[in-house]
Amino acid sequence: MVSYNRLAGQRSPYLRQHATNPVDWYPWCEEALALARQLDRPIFLSIGYAACHWCHVMEHECFENPQIAALLNANFVSIKVDREERPDLDALYMTALHLLTREGGGWPLSVFLTPQLTPFYAGTYFPPDDRYAPHRPAFPRLLQAIIQAWQSRRTEIEQLGQQVITALQQMQSAADTPPVLLSESILRDAARAFQRAFDPVYGGFGAAPKFPHAVELSLLLRLSLRFRESALLAMVCQTLTAMARGGIYDQLGGGFARYSVDARWLVPHFEKMLYDNALLASTYTEAALLTGDPFLEEIARSTLDYVCRDLAVPAGLFCSSEDADSEGEEGKFYLWTPKEMEQILGRELAEFACRVWGVTAAGNFEGKNILHRQGSDAEDAERLGIPLEEFRQKLAEARNRLFQARQQRVRPDRDDKIITAWNAWAIAALARAAVAWNIPEYLMRACHAADQLLRYARDSQGRLLRLAQLPGDNAPPPPLGFLEDYAALIDALITLYEASGQLSYLQSAVELARSMLQRFAEAHGGGFYFVASDQEPLPARLREQHDGATPSGSALAITALLRLSHLLQDVELARKAEDALRTYATLMQQQPLAAGQFLIALDWYLGPVDQVAVIGRRSDSATARALDMIRQAFRPRQVLAIHDPDAGPPPHLLPWLAGKVACQDTVTVYRCREFQCQSPLIGPERVEQAFRQEPLASPS
């Protein structure tokens, strides 16, 4: 009979995966913390996530081992945490790992704490034996050493833990550095830093492992426009194209894996994350609008189609990720052999497909093949000696048949957590693509997801939750939302208002912004904290600083406040955004590669920002034509207000619409910049003349 520990009823699939371990796991809860104090035992804190390959490895090797479990159960209070559910704990103790080891981190994160939650030893993956000694000791030997130290060197351990907490607290105040002027020079220096880090051969930044860096690529699109530097645009286009041709991109089903283990984007770490795909879809959409490149549009749309098909839940929201493994093997769902392809496609089409996607008998990953492209459709058609139209027809047939066959395989597990911030990024990406290419289904999905999030990811007091709690959900209540949840959703709701014209989304954004400022902003200083003032206190309250795998919550908050301040003409919001941006000026200046979203906010702050008001009947085709022209170009520093005069006077929420009317009974557009308004543009033809933007072709 299978026995279950305390993780069996948890909301997180990652925690439930450990429910049958012989380790007497607790979730992070007051019961566990009180037990550690009562028994005077150290806490073993293990942090990971469902799509983490090495988390699974350590579970199988260590946490399913009865001898190791006995050591843990007799001497520690063991706590398992899902980093996606509790990013505050992950951020705090990952920073502690950096202080303790002076090395980079990763997952699983393994931390030993005193009962007062001060960390005194930390690492990542530990094997069950000494195969990687001396740098990575065997886990049982490590446990014995910590047990002995706890018994014989207790004072030393407690002093070390307190030193770490003191250092963490000092790091937060260290951000209060002498003021740095918020100027274009910071953006220019950032552009040079990205050029130095750029890989001119394969695109992207740095060496292997190589991550997509969606936010940084979006920043470079903005800088290419600001400084009229084609070289910056070329870097973005080379990177986006190389990723979309590589194995990091699912050539059959769309969507991107977490990162590439090599420099050329060929071999991915196969898990697919909602946040990567949402952020990348937005970046591809922006690049497609700026360049007019249909390939970039195709990748943006196929990525969103993947999200809507494979990550959607029945409530209209989106789950967190798909695992790297299936049937116990990394990447098995995505790999092919020539024989498999011939069985599905027949000899002639299989030969074609193998040549297009680089499938060989030797394989490129453990004897099998990750599908990837060597060139564009035109280049591959020429290489194969096939007319382009015929090439595309054969490619579509092969892709469809292989995709349908792959659907019969055992799929990777999904992490079905519905994370507020990640869903917000998906909503924003869908809204952007919907208006970029007139795709009503995307806008419908974005609106429905936003409605559901506002309904199911708030508590009775209106505060955001980290996770949506759907009807019939009997798991423990999710934690309150963190700064990134508020900031991402505010920003998404602004984008959704500009895409749909529904004022309720803007009203919700304003309400959330007021709550965010009240609960997360520093009382003295311009920055933001990771956790709210009314959330569970931890040994150190971290400020949200540099970008990580996702954009910084502080940077997102500043960006959203800047957008709102221009839409609402709210001087107080603008002042708060400016004060916060100044707090992070030194970070932008000294570490631009870790400050992409802050630099996007700085680009907003420096302006110029266009305020565009469209006054016209929703039912009028002329209004639709005008809106299409305004939306279907890349204008990163623009706010858009929409009003139907048949609905009555303009809303008080948008005071700058007062007095603006539809002239000559047709759509009229008002465009203002730097407190100066141009003459009204009356009729769609005038709007098209004023807003026409020729695509900026990326340099070859």
Span 579-600, average pLDDT: 95
More confident residue, 106 or 294: 294
Residue among 563, 671, 383 at smallest CA distance from 660: 671
Which domains are seen in the chain, by residue range? Answer: 13-174 (3.40.30.10), 184-326+415-606 (1.50.10.10), 332-411 (no CATH), 610-691 (3.40.30)
Of the chain, the percentage scoring pLDDT greater than 90 comes to 84
Distance CA 526, CA 180 (A): 14
Span 378-397, average pLDDT: 97
- Beta bridge partners, 414, equal 322
For 355, how many CA atoms within 13 A lie in the half-sphere containing its CB?
17
| 244, 251 contact by CB (below 8 A) | no
| pLDDT tens per residue across span 487-498 | 999 999 999 999
| pLDDT tens per residue across span 252-308 | 999 999 999 999 999 999 999 999 999 999 999 999 999 999 999 999 999 999 999
The mean of the pLDDT values for the chain is 93
Q: What is the pLDDT of residue 317?
A: 98
Span 8-34, average pLDDT: 95
Q: What is the pLDDT of residue 475?
A: 84
| 641, 613 contact by CB (below 8 A) | yes
| 683, 622 contact by CB (below 8 A) | yes
pLDDT higher than threshold 70 for residue 556: yes
Strands lying side by side in the sheet with 26-27:
26-27, 77-82, 43-48, 109-113, 119-123
Span 211-229, average pLDDT: 96
| pLDDT tens per residue across span 680-696 | 999 999 999 988 865 55
Tokens 């009028």 found at? 620
Q: What is the pLDDT of residue 491?
A: 98
Span 391-416, average pLDDT: 97
| 653, 643 contact by CB (below 8 A) | no
CA 116 to the chain's CA centroid: 33
Q: What is the pLDDT of residue 696?
A: 54
* Contacts (Cβ under 8 Å, ≥6 apart) of 53: 269, 271, 324, 325, 330
pLDDT higher than threshold 90 for residue 524: no
Q: What is the pLDDT of residue 173?
A: 64
pLDDT higher than threshold 90 for residue 170: no
- How far is residue 126 from each of residues 59, 60, 641, measured CA to CA in Å? 10, 12, 55
Q: What angle do CA 568, 424, 474 make, to 5 degrees?
A: 125
Span 469-479, average pLDDT: 89
CA 371 to the chain's CA centroid: 25
Cis peptide before 13 (omega within 30 of 0): no
- Beta bridge partners, 179, equal none
Q: What angle do CA 43, 44, 50 make, to 5 degrees?
A: 135
Tokens (6 digits) for 627: 């809106």
Q: What is the pLDDT of residue 699?
A: 43
Angle between helical axes of 377-384 and 388-406 (0-180°, round to 10) = 100
Q: What is the pLDDT of residue 474?
A: 84
More confident residue, 167 or 171: 167
Distance CA 129, CA 302 (A): 44
Q: What is the pLDDT of residue 4?
A: 80
More confident residue, 4 or 665: 665
Residue among 108, 369, 365 at smallest CA distance from 262: 365
**At 700, is the pLDDT very low, low, confident or very high (cuts 50, 70, 90)?**
very low
pLDDT higher than threshold 90 for residue 557: yes
Q: What is the pLDDT of residue 134?
A: 67
**At 612, is the pLDDT very low, low, confident or very high (cuts 50, 70, 90)?**
very high
Span 428-452, average pLDDT: 98
pLDDT higher than threshold 50 for residue 174: no
| pLDDT tens per residue across span 333-352 | 999 999 999 999 999 999 99
Span 163-182, average pLDDT: 75
Helices (H), 521-661: 553-568, 571-583, 585-590, 596-606, 621-631
Angle between helical axes of 214-227 and 230-245 (0-180°, round to 10) = 150
Helices (H), 437-464: 440-456
Q: What is the pLDDT of residue 525?
A: 75
- How far is residue 350 from each of residues 245, 246, 690, measured CA to CA in Å? 19, 20, 51
pLDDT higher than threshold 90 for residue 380: yes
Phi, psi of 250 (to 5 degrees): -75, 105
| pLDDT tens per residue across span 108-139 | 999 999 999 999 999 999 999 988 766 789 99
Q: What is the pLDDT of residue 558?
A: 97
As a residue count, the chain comes to 700
Q: What is the pLDDT of residue 677?
A: 84
pLDDT higher than threshold 60 for residue 1: no
Q: What is the pLDDT of residue 241?
A: 98
| pLDDT tens per residue across span 48-65 | 998 888 898 999 999 999
Distance CA 273, CA 257 (A): 7
